[in-house]
Structures are given as C-alpha cells and as structure tokens.
Amino acid sequence: MPKPAEQQVVTRIAPSPTGFMHIGTARTALFNWLYARGRGGKFLLRIEDTDRARSTPEATDAILRGMEWLGLDYDGEAVSQFEQSARHAEVANQLLAEGHAYKCFATQDEIAAFREEARAAGTSTHYRSPWRDADASTHPDAPYVIRIKAPREGQTVIRDQVQGDVTIQNEQLDDMILLRSDGSPVYMLAVVVDDHDMGVTHVIRGDDHLNNAARQMLIYEAMGWPLPVYAHIPLIYGPDGKKLSKRHGATGVEEYQHMGYPASGMRNYLARLGWSHGDDEFFTDTQALEWFDLPSIGKSPARFDFKKLENLCGQHIAHTENAALLHELQEYLVATDQLSLPEAKKTLLEAAMPQLKERAKTYGELLDKATFIMADRPIVPDEKAAGALDTVSRGILKELTPHLQNVSWCRLDLEALLNGFAEERDTKFGKLAAPLRAALAGRSATPSVFDMMLVLGRDETIARIEDAAA
Ligand code: GLU
C-alpha cells in the first residue's frame, strides 16, 4: 500500500564529479536506491559540482553513465549543487538575520595569530571569533564571512542507523563559515540546504562524512528543519584490509562494465558488500528490494572480494533468460566498441544460449565460448587446435562426412553415430572430439561437440569439417 505523502522516503546520491564513478559511490547509490525503491519512495541525484575545475561535463557524464548501466534510475532531473548557490546564500543570510549566525571581520592574520597562541598554550585551535557577540554598531565597513554560532557547551548526538548513537562534545565544534567573504557558500551549508529543499528524509552515505553530520545538524537545528535519518556506512576495503584503491584493481564502475560483468551481478555483489540478509549470497533485485534495511548494514568495512563478484556474476548470467541475455550481450559489445552482431549470429547465439551461459562469469567468457558461432568459414584453428588436425585425424574427418549427410540431425542420433564411428576405429569418442572441436570452432576448449553441431546445423557442420579435412 502506498504510504501517505508526508511519510514518503526520499533518498539521494550526491556524488562530486571526479572523472569516473567510484565503486564506493556506486554502492552508496545502490543502498539509497534499494532503500527508497523498496519503500515506494523517491531516489534523487544531486551532482555536487561546486568544485568548478573538476566538474566538467565529461566528469558528470561518467556518473550518469555509471548510474544508467547499474540500472539505478532516479526521480526527476539531476540537481546541480552549484546552481543552487543563491539559495545557499539566502539561508546563510536568514541565519544571520535570526541571530543564529554572525558577521566575522577577522583577517587571515588575526586567525593565524589566534591559532599560534592556542598551539603554544596547548588549547583548542578552533577559532573563537571576537565578533560572535559584537554589536552591529561596532561593525567596520570591511569584508566579512558569515559564521554559524555553534553551541560551546553540551553534546550533539548523531542517532545513526548504522553506527548507533555517536556523541560529539560541542566544544569540539567551531563556528564554521557558512558564507565566504566573496559571498560563496561553503560545502557544508550547501549539502544541508539542498537535502532540505529536495525533501531528503534519509541520508545514507560513507562514514567519512560522519563528523560532518554533527556540524550539519547545527544548521538544521538553527533553521528549525527536521533532521534526516542518518546512516553512515563503512567504506570499502581491499582484500588486504586497506582502503580500496587502484592498487587492488579496478575502482571505476565503467571498468567493471568493460570487463563484461553483468549489471545484475554487480548490483547483487555491491549489495552484499557491507549489507547482509542471513546467509543469502545470490539474490534478485526483487529480493534485495524487499529485504534491504539499514540496521542490517555492518559496522566494519567490507572487503572487496573479486572471486565472490565473479561467482555471483556467473550465477546471474546463468539465471538470465536467453533473449534478455542476448540483449545484454549486444549492449556490452556497444559499450566496449566491438562489432555489432549480424542477425544470423543473433539467431545462433540465442539458440546456443542455454549452453553458453553455463559457467560464464562475464560476457567476455560467454563470447569466448561462442567462438564457434562468431567465427566464419574458413575456420582458422589456433595453435593448440591445429595440433589436433594431423594427417590421421584429417583422414578420419574425411570418412565421417558422408555419414553426417544421412543421419537425422538430433542429439540422440548424432551421439549414436559418433560413438559408433569411434568404436569401429577402435578408439574413444574423446579422440574424435579434438579434431571436431578444431574443425568446428578452431579451438580445443569449446562447448560440447553435439551442442555445436546442433546449433550450426548440418550444412555448416559438414562444410567446416570438409574445410578442416582438406
Ligand atoms: N559529495 C560527497 C561525496 O561525494 C557526498 C556528500 C553527502 O553524501 O552528503 O562524498
């Protein structure tokens, strides 16, 4: 049943464009997507593009492409944080007008001197501005920043769905700047204003933002805005227990796409990375949407396990319907700038899909198994396969072809024919299989000889064997 509007869950992913979409951002996006979509809520995208140098259209595009590939659809248009700057400034000025913030005229030198003295005295280096309680009549006609009036006593408790209650002593909070002297808003203000204006009810993000939460809460409270529910999730580590980085392998979503992992397997794996539902490893989107919840996110960092990713991807490929898999395969070929599939190949691929999708962990592996379909006559055997086509083997293949002309083209009869043919020559079918694999696929590792024959059909099978025997 749809929930009443005021209770609707609204989550967001708020990536800063860095040129690529980090796997950690993808996981955070997935968690937010699962949480909202599983509850009939909204999932929003905000591009935190205030760093103008890094926020190129290409960098934003990389995020959009990553979201699209992962199937993480968001509601409405992507919001640009930079474009909301005027609104951020408006809120800073409102806080100023209401006495929750103040104009600070301190110069850089004064602040530096304060810090130096504090260091020497061994006290807190958080700047304590003399302008906090200054009367407006004493304000000089000089540039100023707007600072929030942070409480100096008591504590702030972040009620976090993953971390539990996290208590911060208010004396550790400084009167952070909201608006710089050039009138530009700081990031901390922008996040809060945007989240509020976008109606975000749940902030699910990396725990590297946990400390920010305490400072951001000050702004919510000063504005009298309801706090979002917080869930700060542990970062992703590499197999060695260190923060995931290039050293461990691919960190960009697009790299995984190009390595041929299916998006469904990737979603399954990323969901398991830090979140669990009993002992379930393999699950569908429908199950994940039903099961996902914040309290079952682990408190300690998850370690990226490439083997597990591959294993799950293999299972997802095997579970995907043949036509859908063919479609995914075509998208993979487009994404990796490979040739598109001619109609005839598509038909053969779909027919062979039940066999091809068994034990393929990536689209690349699947296509590799489909070499016998992708290749055209004359089939050029690789070195190992060529070894199986010696004079004796070629002689046997030559003898075989007339029998293939007459057999009925079904698995049972083909099996009977080839087994009998091998027996007559006092050999095992295995001996016959190697030259047949070489003839049909040009490879030594292929799907079963019978599967290939059935997919290729009588004429093509015989033609390839004749090519090889010649
Ligand atoms: N832009 C921040 C980041 O990419 C996220 C901020 C947030 O989620 O509040 O880490």
pLDDT in the model for residue 339? 84
Q: What is the pLDDT of residues 285-334, one digit of tens each?
A: 999 999 999 999 999 999 999 999 999 999 999 999 999 999 999 999 99
* Domain closes at, from 369, 397, 430: 369
Same domain, 122 and 202: yes
* C-alpha closest to that of 440 among 378, 396, 394: 378
C-alpha span between 375 and 391 (Å, rounded): 24
Q: Does residue 1 carry a pLDDT above 50?
A: no
Residue whose CA lies nearest to ligand 1 atom number 7: 14
* 48 CA closest ligand 1 atom index: 1
Answer positive or negative: Cα dihedral of 452, 456, 457, 459.
Answer: negative
Phi–psi pair at 275, nearest 5 degrees: -130, 145
CB contact set of 110 (below 8 Å; sequence gap of 6+):
none
The crossing angle, in degrees rounded to 10, of helices 23-37 and 57-70 is 50
In this structure, the chain runs to a length of 470
C-alpha span between 110 and 192 (Å, rounded): 29
**Domain containing 448 — which CATH number?**
1.10.10.350
Cα-to-centroid distance, 237 and ligand 1 (Å): 18
Is residue 378 a part of any domain in this protein? no
* C-alpha closest to that of 34 among 262, 271, 265: 271
C-alpha span between 335 and 398 (Å, rounded): 42
* Domain closes at, from 218, 233, 248: 233
Q: Does residue 3 carry a pLDDT above 60?
A: no
Same domain, 276 and 347: no
Is residue 68 a part of any domain in this protein? yes
Phi–psi pair at 174, nearest 5 degrees: -100, 170
pLDDT in the model for residue 6? 55
pLDDT in the model for residue 429? 83
Same domain, 219 and 331: no
pTM of the shown model = 0.93
Same domain, 160 and 94: yes
Q: Does residue 4 carry a pLDDT above 70?
A: no
Q: What is the mean pLDDT of the chain?
A: 95
Same domain, 256 and 174: no
Q: Residue 347: pLDDT band by 50, 70, 90 thresholds?
A: very high
**Residue 18 burial (C-beta neighbours within 10 Å; 0-12, 13-18, 19+):** middle
Cα-to-centroid distance, 47 and ligand 1 (Å): 9
Same domain, 205 and 111: yes
Cite the active site residues.
246
* C-alpha closest to that of 9 among 201, 227, 289: 201
Q: Does residue 77 carry a pLDDT above 60?
A: yes
Same domain, 362 and 441: no
CB of 464 within 6 A of ligand 1: the answer is no
CB of 49 within 6 A of ligand 1: the answer is no
CB of 10 within 6 A of ligand 1: the answer is no
**CA 218 and chain centroid, separation:** 32
Same domain, 88 and 215: yes
* C-alpha closest to that of 77 among 169, 123, 12: 12
Q: What percent of the chain has pLDDT over 70?
A: 99
Residue whose CA lies nearest to ligand 1 atom number 2: 15
42-47 β-sheet, strand order: 10-13, 42-47, 79-80
Q: Tokens 């103008």 appear where?
A: 52
CB of 207 within 6 A of ligand 1: the answer is no
User: Residue 226, preceding bond cis, omega within 30 degrees?
Assistant: no
CB of 16 within 6 A of ligand 1: the answer is yes
Domain total for the chain?
A: 4
CB of 59 within 6 A of ligand 1: the answer is no
Two tokens, residue 127: 């700047």
CB of 190 within 6 A of ligand 1: the answer is no
* For residues 435-457, average pLDDT: 96
Helix (H, G, I), strand (E, B) or coil at 302: strand
C-alpha span between 157 and 160 (Å, rounded): 9
Cα-to-centroid distance, 368 and ligand 1 (Å): 40
* C-alpha closest to that of 189 among 100, 294, 300: 100
* 212 CA closest ligand 1 atom index: 9
Q: What angle do CA 13, 274, 211 make, to 5 degrees?
A: 60
Same domain, 226 and 257: no
pLDDT in the model for residue 135? 95
Is residue 2 a part of any domain in this protein? no
Is residue 142 a part of any domain in this protein? yes
Phi–psi pair at 366, nearest 5 degrees: -65, -45
* 195 CA closest ligand 1 atom index: 9
Q: Does residue 116 carry a pLDDT above 50?
A: yes
CB 202 within 8 Å of CB 231: yes
Same domain, 179 and 91: yes
C-alpha span between 72 and 40 (Å, rounded): 14
Answer positive or negative: Cα dihedral of 130, 133, 137, 139.
Answer: positive
Q: Which domain holds residue 132?
A: 84-233
C-alpha span between 194 and 206 (Å, rounded): 18
Same domain, 282 and 152: no
| Ligand 1 binding pocket mutation candidate from 20, 67, 191 (most atoms within 8 A of CB) | 191
